[in-house]
Structure 1
């Protein structure tokens, strides 16, 4: 009986393994939500750059980034995360 009780808790398919698996599932779901959100944001930005939906502000922003330029009076904030 001790053998079965031990493997019910500690075995490959025991309670502890089930709890670890539930934790891994939760972490994977949170990662999926984060990546899905990032993808939606990127798809939106790509849509704004398409010729039939060209957003002038987005175009100017990309041009400034690519040319490393700004207008007089612009405030530049450096982001160390990118």
Structure 2
């Protein structure tokens, strides 16, 4: 009888701390590795930083494209400069233009 009493006393002394320790380990592991744990939070922060960087890149690209589009407005183009540049690119001249030929090693540009 006394052995049974010692076994019961030992079981009553061991089970509650073991259960408490098991619950503590379970909740601790979930706090770190669970679906809403610290590692998941760190991953979400990295994804947020990537999204903010992508947003900033897209805004800067949008500004560049808006500037390019606004320069295509007909009021933004100077007709004389456009005519001069197109003739230079096409290697053409008007009838009254004076043409000064350059040598083969003397380049204008």
TM-score range with shorter-chain normalisation?
A: 0.5 to 0.7
Q: Which residue pairs with 1:45 in the alignment?
A: 68
Q: Is the 8 A contact 1:49 1:55 kept in 2?
A: no
Q: Is the 8 A contact 1:48 1:55 kept in 2?
A: no
What is the CA-CA distance between 1:48 and the residue it aligns to?
A: 0.6
**2:58 counterpart of 1:35:** yes
Greater RCO, CA 8 A, separation 6+: 1
**2:27 counterpart of 1:4:** yes
What is the CA-CA distance between 1:51 and the residue it aligns to?
A: 2.0
**What is the rounded CA distance, in whole Å, between the counterparts of 1:8 and 1:55 in structure 2?**
66
Which consecutive residues of structure 2, in runs of 5 or more, have no partner in the other structure?
Answer: 1-23, 92-106
What is the CA-CA distance between 1:50 and the residue it aligns to?
A: 1.4
TM-score normalised by length of structure 2 = 0.51
What is the CA-CA distance between 1:46 and the residue it aligns to?
A: 0.1
Which consecutive residues of structure 1, in runs of 5 or more, have no partner in the other structure?
Answer: 64-68, 75-82
Q: SS state of the match for residue 12, structure 1?
A: coil
**What is the rounded CA distance, in whole Å, between the counterparts of 1:8 and 1:48 in structure 2?**
55
> Which of structures 1 and 2 has the bigger CA Rg?
2
* Equivalenced residues, count: 65
